[in-house]
Amino acid sequence: MTSLVMRRAGPIVARTQQQSTQQILAVGAAPTLHNFNSRRDKSYKCVVLGGGAGGCAMASKMARKFGAGKVAVVEPQDTHYYQPMWTLVGSGHKTFADSSLPMAKAIPKGAEWIKDSAATIDPEKNMVTTANGLELNYDMLIVAVGLNLNYNKIEGATEALKNDPRVCSNFSAQFVNKTYKAFEGFEKGGTAIFSMPPLPIKCPGAPQKIMYLFDDYLRQSGKREGSNILYNTNLPVIFGVKKYADALHEVVAERDITLNFQHNLISVDHTKGEATFTRVGEDPAINITMNYDLLHISPPMSAPDFLKSSPLANEAGFVDVNKDYLQHNKYENVFSLGDCSSAPTSKTAAAVAAEAGVLDQTIQSFLKGEKPKNTQYDGYTSCPLITKGGKTILAEFDYNAQPLETFPVDQGKERRSMWHMKKDVMPFIYWNMLIKGRWHGPQKMRKIFHLGMGK
């Protein structure tokens, strides 16, 4: 491969270097945080865009593979969040602090942390330009920048989230702590609405998981009688896999929850306590305004703007990769995993884990000058569907929306064991294995539990 040079293309926003050093020393082992004023120009074997689950997992693998100083991670945030925990944070079963880690600890030692965001990608020149004007040249590029939360696509949503204690959202670090406060403020009963936007969305089960926990909270508090709970979803189904959809229909019937399919949230008026939905597929459009006493907003989501406008994107704005090997369909030295890739599976941390194992094999083939072979991604993903405090349906499935279950029991049933899996086991795996690039999902466990019979 051609040796490439990292050069400066524009002014750099100054950082307080002493403060930055103190922050890193305070958290122990950490990546090198670039001091742009004193750095030496150098090439990178691998540039990773994004310091989330997929970015950290692959940066860890690449840092071990190539050694110190050969891998750069472009990530502007100071904190890494385990976002699947926010359902438990919003319902009061975990604290917000439980879900966070300083970014300097999440990014692997041996990688160089570029505390900046990507602005443009030029795959013809093997170059990423950052928001602060750095030009980062790469031999390989791994894109793992996640999804944008587009609250602004719902008129009045941001204002309501900032000003109305009845309006909450588990999808944002800025708002997740409002959810349990909204639970507690639901003293007089009334109507609680939980919205589900169009796909794509991080964990499609999340909007209804918090709803079930709210129902459980009301029952435990003796407040459920006389209150209405509505699940207004843009989709025509409650869940995309029939086995789990059937189980969830039983749950909502038992809990007396109202399902409104093909209802898309388009505006919120927090001064009146009103949420307006449009009926999907109706022509002319039919809008329905509902009063709320609690409103949980799941925002529309999309790939980041810089990615949508890059040569790497498909028509939908996602990194255009081969769904089996996660290698770009045009640029063979570009790879992607997680929420921003075009792989047609549900966007979850479980999918990231499985994708990381496959992508590691794909990159090994690429480094040998070979086409990917053998290990293929089957679309495995998982969604632990919490149905009440202490009960969870562990949904696991593949590209074809067929169950791909790990344990030798019917995972379509509510189980306490799966609650503990979600609440206690999965966070441990995430912090200690997944983001360190050492967890590729439960495939081996599945083979053991099912004696290798087609699983």
**Is residue 155 domain-shared with residue 247, that is, in the same domain?**
yes
The amino acid at residue 117 is: S
**Is residue 77 domain-shared with residue 94, that is, in the same domain?**
yes
338 band by pLDDT with thresholds 50, 70 and 90: very high
Q: Are 429 and 445 in contact (CB under 8 A)?
A: no
Instruction: Give domain status of residue 25, yes or no.
Output: yes
Kindly state the average pLDDT of the residues 256-264: 98
Instruction: Give domain status of residue 385, yes or no.
Output: yes
**Is residue 297 domain-shared with residue 309, that is, in the same domain?**
no
**Is residue 398 domain-shared with residue 351, that is, in the same domain?**
no
Kindly state the average pLDDT of the residues 47-54: 98
**Is residue 107 domain-shared with residue 181, that is, in the same domain?**
no
Instruction: Give domain status of residue 376, yes or no.
Output: no
Kindly state the average pLDDT of the residues 226-253: 97
Instruction: Give domain status of residue 69, yes or no.
Output: yes
Q: Rounded mean pLDDT of the chain?
A: 91
Query: Of 175, 209, 149, 122, nearest to 339 (Cα)?
Result: 149
Which pTM does this prediction carry?
Answer: 0.90
**Is residue 289 domain-shared with residue 308, that is, in the same domain?**
no
21 band by pLDDT with thresholds 50, 70 and 90: very low
Polymer length of the chain:
455
283 band by pLDDT with thresholds 50, 70 and 90: confident
Asked whether the predicted pLDDT for residue 6 surpasses 90, the reply is no
38 band by pLDDT with thresholds 50, 70 and 90: very low
User: Range of 440's domain?
Assistant: 381-449
Q: Which DSSP state fits 319?
A: B
What is the model's pLDDT at position 451?
66
**Is residue 143 domain-shared with residue 204, that is, in the same domain?**
no
Instruction: Give domain status of residue 455, yes or no.
Output: no
Asked whether the predicted pLDDT for residue 315 surpasses 60, the reply is yes
% residues pLDDT > 90 (the chain)? 86
Distance CA 321, CA 323 (A): 6
**Is residue 101 domain-shared with residue 245, that is, in the same domain?**
no
The amino acid at residue 349 is: A
What is the model's pLDDT at position 14?
30
Domains of the chain: total: 3
Instruction: Give domain status of residue 249, yes or no.
Output: yes
**Is residue 238 domain-shared with residue 335, that is, in the same domain?**
no
Within 182-227, strands assigned E span 191-196
289 band by pLDDT with thresholds 50, 70 and 90: very high
**Is residue 32 domain-shared with residue 108, that is, in the same domain?**
yes
**Is residue 287 domain-shared with residue 213, that is, in the same domain?**
yes
The two tokens of residue 102 are 């300083």
Catalytically annotated residues: 203, 383
- Where a domain ends, among 248, 269, 301? 301
What is the model's pLDDT at position 32?
62
What is the model's pLDDT at position 16?
32
**Is residue 292 domain-shared with residue 159, that is, in the same domain?**
yes
CATH number reported for the structural domain that contains residue 171 in this entry: 3.50.50.60
What is the model's pLDDT at position 29?
47
